[in-house]
Amino acid sequence: MKAKDMEPTHPRNPYLTVDVIIECQGGIILIRRKNPPFGWALPGGFVDYGESVEHAAVREAKEETSLDVTLECQFHMYSDPGRDPRFHTASMVFIGRAEGTPRANDDAREAGIFTASNLPQPLCFDHGQILSDYFQRRYEKGY
């Protein structure tokens, strides 16, 4: 074995992110992104070092919608390496609830409340798949 083969390497890991399906006023809140990739997305973002995914979800939701969100449950983990065109991310998706009117802030240019029948386009990342899974499960299991 050569010396260079024994040198420590730094692992390349996916970035950990969170997304929140926020139920509010009979619909779900989506934000229109200020930064690339442009389009509509679930509120969410990166988990900071030393932060729990639950705290990150509540923090990101507040930063982007100006609302206090109560997390109801973990929904699903999405980790397809192609889900984010910038780099490999793994996102823990939560379902939460909020009251009030969302107001875009931070990385959000606009915020709105939508239903399965009036989702805006284009949706970023794999959020179309996430929302399809959510609405299907909600219909089947009465979320």
Check: CB of residue 22 under 8 Å from CB of residue 97: yes
Handedness of CA 93, 44, 50, 16 (dihedral sign): positive
The residues, ordered by sequence, that sit 6+ positions from 31 with a Cβ below 8 Å of its Cβ are 40, 41, 42, 43, 64, 65, 102, 104, 107, 108, 109, 110, 111
**Measured between alpha carbons, how far is residue 32 from residues 11, 29, 55, 87 in Å?**
33, 10, 22, 20
Q: What are phi and psi of 135, to 5 degrees?
A: -65, -35
Q: Known catalytic residues?
A: 110
Tokens 């299991």, residue located: 141
